[in-house]
Amino acid sequence: MPNRLARETSPYLQQHADNPVDWHAWGEEALNLARTQNKPILLSVGYSACHWCHVMAHESFEDAAVAAVMNELFINIKVDREERPDLDQIYQTAHAMLTQRNGGWPLTMFLLPDQTPYFGGTYFPKTARQGMPGFVELLPQIAAAFRDQQTEIAKQSESLRAALARTLPPSATAATLTPAPLDTALRELKDNFDEVEGGLGSAPKFPHPSELELCLRFGSAQNDEYAQQMVRLTLTKMAEGGIYDQVGGGFCRYSVDQTWTIPHFEKMLYDNGPLLRLYSDLWLLDPQPLYRRSVADTAAWVLREMQSPAGGYYSSLDADSEHEEGKYYVWTPAEVRATVTAEEYALIAPHYGLDVRANFEHEFWHLRVNQPLAGADAGVALLDAARAKLFVRREQRVRPGRDEKILVSWNALMIKGMARAARAFNEPAWLQSARRAADFLRASLWRDGRLLATCKDGRAHLNAYLDDYAFLLDALIELMQHDLRAGDIAWARDLAQVLLDQFEDRDNGGFFFVSHDHERLIHRAKIGHDNATPSGNGIAAFALNRLGHLLGEPRWCEAAERTLKAFKPAMERQASGHSSLCVALGELLAPPAIVVLRGDAAADWQRRLAAHYLPQALIVRVPDGLSALPAALDKPAPARGVNAWVCRGVECLPAITDFEQLLSTLKTAGH
């Protein structure tokens, strides 16, 4: 008989609905049980695409004997970290404090009835092996500690709560902002750069799009060729590597090796949105076919597999199929040879490394570019034909699971990525996809002037987080650079107002991760550093500053400045870990160039400008008939031709009527 998790929207929680464990979702019912029964809480945090979460579930949570111990000794709570990032952040930080080790998923924490953790770990095998304690032996010990060591645990809990409080940035409202963190961040990233394989650090290797965006933006502005080459080499190696799906498009979460060859096979929406944007930006500077193909194939994957019929984007694809990680993606040379023609095989065998030693387990090959094509049209056509046949063959396999919940923050990252790619490549279908997703969010997750965080099967719930508001505001500003709509302007205003009313730390600057009226937890985080997704504070500062200049609203620019001052000490300590805030700092110190286009040829000028890398320009075309414009956008249209009105900060130029003069002005402004 299914347990309580069968009622939840999260596919991850539903995966555990048939466990013999008496699972609860996080909520007052479970927390009250722990208090009234004075029992510790076993908190298990994971997500549906997580390989080791599945392993621990199969080994322990599906085992009746293990479940019986869990049910007897603990109140058991399952959390989807993607639906409840607030809880995941708190308990990942607490895990690091308790164990002095990095966390991850599955996260296994043992809490007092007041929600304070007193012991924790990540994956535990059912029985002890390879130096790891066995879960089934550990459970009675943890329960006994709760029963017998109350005094020691109480002291530890008090210290832990104090340590969590110290993670909040100190007040720095009187700080003076300078560009020093930008230079420091670039230097730190250069020091950590792999000059042979690209990327930052060694294995495991992650894409780090926020850090690479900083390198591209300021490398271009400062004519720093090395910083730009860091991005070119990394994106080339990734696109040629196994972290990129050579058959179906899209990027996996990370590479387990230094050469980008074997990924952790899950595909996450939040990686692919920023990478679409980054590859599009790089293509504008260096129009290599590899970058265009990576964007086109990734966008095709999004349209084909990740967009719901209603318009929202799904969250992720699992790493596993048929209980084996990567099984859906790997090949044998014999299977490939049986799928393509002899001529095609002669080309793709050396290209994908099928003629060298297997690179995956059990004598399987995961495709990566081992020998790039010379570039001849005939070779490209043969490769495309072979890839199409391999795709059809692969579609006959058992597919990895798809997490079909729709998260506002991750959707916003993909909306911006698709819209940015559409602008760079002039692809209307990609813009239409981004618009459909934004319209879905507004229709389904915007209620009474507030966002809900997640939706599945028509059920939207959970109070939205900082990232939901900040990322969506940023995405709307990108959409405004395609076509300016009164509804987008109004919605952007509303989102910005909620950020200030419900999330801003009014005393010290910056934004809390949860709203003022959020459920009370043991800690209220205010996060500046980038993680797998960019910092909500960094994106909030960037987007608010842009919106303030675009609509002529100084209070939003002032909120951005307060945020950057709040995190100035953190940026000074570790600038590259705060790349999103550094990008926002750059635009606060050198305001974006706001370009308002009016006239009968304005759409043509907008398309022509989109073919250039102009990261510090915000270009909008005001269509005829758009009423109730803010003064900053209410510029006169000429009787014929185009007027381009350019403002930067408090300085505005006379109307520009020559395209080349406009382009020269914007390129000069970026340096």
Write down the residue that tokens 């019986």 correspond to.
Answer: 68
Q: Is the dihedral of CA 403, 404, 410, 416 positive or negative?
A: positive
Give the span between the Cα atoms of 287 and 543, in whole angstroms.
28
What number of CA atoms fall less than 13 Å from residue 140's CA on the CB side?
5
The whole-angstrom distance between residue 364's C-alpha and the CA centroid of its chain comes to 30
Residues 62 and 199 in one domain: no
> What are the backbone dihedrals phi and psi of residue 569, each rounded to the nearest 5 degrees, phi first?
-60, -40
Asked whether residue 229 is assigned to any structural domain, the reply reads yes
Nearest alpha-carbon partner for 461 in 8, 4, 3 = 8
Mean pLDDT of the 175-185 span: 95
Residues 564 and 639 in one domain: no
Give the span between the Cα atoms of 390 and 99, in whole angstroms.
46
> What are the backbone dihedrals phi and psi of residue 42, each rounded to the nearest 5 degrees, phi first?
-100, 110
Report pLDDT for 131. Answer: 82
Residues 634 and 567 in one domain: no
Report pLDDT for 580. Answer: 98
Structure tokens at 323: 């209980």
Report pLDDT for 334. Answer: 97
| CATH code for the domain in which residue 95 is found | 3.40.30.10
Residues 389 and 434 in one domain: no
Give the span between the Cα atoms of 667 and 671, in whole angstroms.
7
Residue 421 has pLDDT above 90, yes or no: yes
- The partner residues of 132 in beta bridges, in order of sequence, read 129
Q: Quickly state the pLDDT bin for 374 (edges 50, 70, 90).
A: confident
β 75-80/41-46 pair status: parallel
Residues 205 and 251 in one domain: yes
Structure tokens at 542: 């960037």
Nearest alpha-carbon partner for 522 in 4, 113, 21 = 113
Q: What is the pLDDT of residues 380-400, one digit of tens each?
A: 999 999 999 999 999 999 999
Mean pLDDT of the 350-378 span: 92
Residues 313 and 365 in one domain: no
Mean pLDDT of the 639-644 span: 94
Q: Over the chain, what is the mean pLDDT?
A: 96
Residue 376 has pLDDT above 70, yes or no: no
Structure tokens at 388: 């199409």
Give the span between the Cα atoms of 442 and 438, in whole angstroms.
6
Q: What is the pLDDT of residues 447-503, one digit of tens each?
A: 999 999 999 999 999 999 999 999 999 999 999 999 999 999 999 999 999 999 999
Give the span between the Cα atoms of 597 and 283, in whole angstroms.
25
Residues 379 and 431 in one domain: no
Q: What is the pLDDT of residues 298-336, one digit of tens each?
A: 999 999 999 999 999 999 999 999 989 999 999 999 999
Asked whether residue 173 is assigned to any structural domain, the reply reads no
The whole-angstrom distance between residue 524's C-alpha and the CA centroid of its chain comes to 21
In contact, 341 and 308? CB cutoff 8 Å: no
Q: Among 293-302, 515-524, 555-564, 620-629, whose mean pLDDT is lowest?
A: 620-629
- DSSP structure string for 310-350: TSPBP-EE-SEETTEETTTT-B-HHHHHHHS-HHHHHHHHH
Q: Is 74 helix (H, G, I), strand (E, B) or coil?
A: coil
Report pLDDT for 51. Answer: 86
Give the span between the Cα atoms of 503 and 301, in whole angstroms.
35
Asked whether residue 31 is assigned to any structural domain, the reply reads yes
Report pLDDT for 650. Answer: 87
Angle between helices 225-240 and 289-301 (to 10 degrees): 50
Report pLDDT for 171. Answer: 75
| Residue where a domain stops, chosen among 340, 371, 396 | 396
Q: What is the pLDDT of residues 100-155, one digit of tens each?
A: 998 899 999 999 999 999 999 999 999 998 888 999 999 999 999 999 999 999 99
Q: What are the residues whose beta carbons fall under 8 Å from the beta carbon of 168, sequence distance 6 or more?
A: 525, 526
Report pLDDT for 486. Answer: 94
Report pLDDT for 292. Answer: 98
User: Would the pTM of this model clear 0.85, i.e. be above it?
Assistant: yes
Q: What are the residues whose beta carbons fall under 8 Å from the beta carbon of 545, sequence distance 6 or more?
A: 556, 557, 560, 561, 584, 587, 588, 591, 592
Asked whether residue 436 is assigned to any structural domain, the reply reads yes
Give the span between the Cα atoms of 142 and 144, in whole angstroms.
5
Asked whether residue 172 is assigned to any structural domain, the reply reads no
Q: What is the pLDDT of residues 198-252, one digit of tens each?
A: 999 999 999 999 999 999 999 999 999 999 999 999 999 999 999 999 999 999 9
Report pLDDT for 625. Answer: 85
Residues 362 and 314 in one domain: no
Asked whether residue 617 is assigned to any structural domain, the reply reads yes
Give the span between the Cα atoms of 358 and 337, in whole angstroms.
15
What is the DSSP secondary structure assignment for residue 461, as one 8-state letter? E
| Residue where a domain stops, chosen among 141, 165, 189 | 165
Asked whether residue 270 is assigned to any structural domain, the reply reads yes
Residues 409 and 474 in one domain: yes
Report pLDDT for 671. Answer: 62
H/E run at residue 593: strand 593-599
| Residue where a domain stops, chosen among 378, 396, 414 | 396
Report pLDDT for 210. Answer: 98
In contact, 364 and 325? CB cutoff 8 Å: no
Domain count, the chain: 4
Residue 180 has pLDDT above 90, yes or no: yes
Report pLDDT for 408. Answer: 98
Q: Is 403 helix (H, G, I), strand (E, B) or coil?
A: strand
> What are the backbone dihedrals phi and psi of residue 521, each rounded to the nearest 5 degrees, phi first?
-120, 180
β 324-325/617-621 pair status: unpaired
Residues 597 and 585 in one domain: no
Q: Is 136 helix (H, G, I), strand (E, B) or coil?
A: helix
Asked whether residue 171 is assigned to any structural domain, the reply reads no
Nearest alpha-carbon partner for 424 in 231, 278, 594, 249 = 278
Structure tokens at 95: 């895990």
- The partner residues of 324 in beta bridges, in order of sequence, read 321
Which domain does 640 fall in, by range?
A: 593-669
Residues 17 and 76 in one domain: yes
Q: Quickly state the pLDDT bin for 93 (edges 50, 70, 90).
A: very high
Residue 359 has pLDDT above 70, yes or no: yes
Residues 10 and 121 in one domain: yes
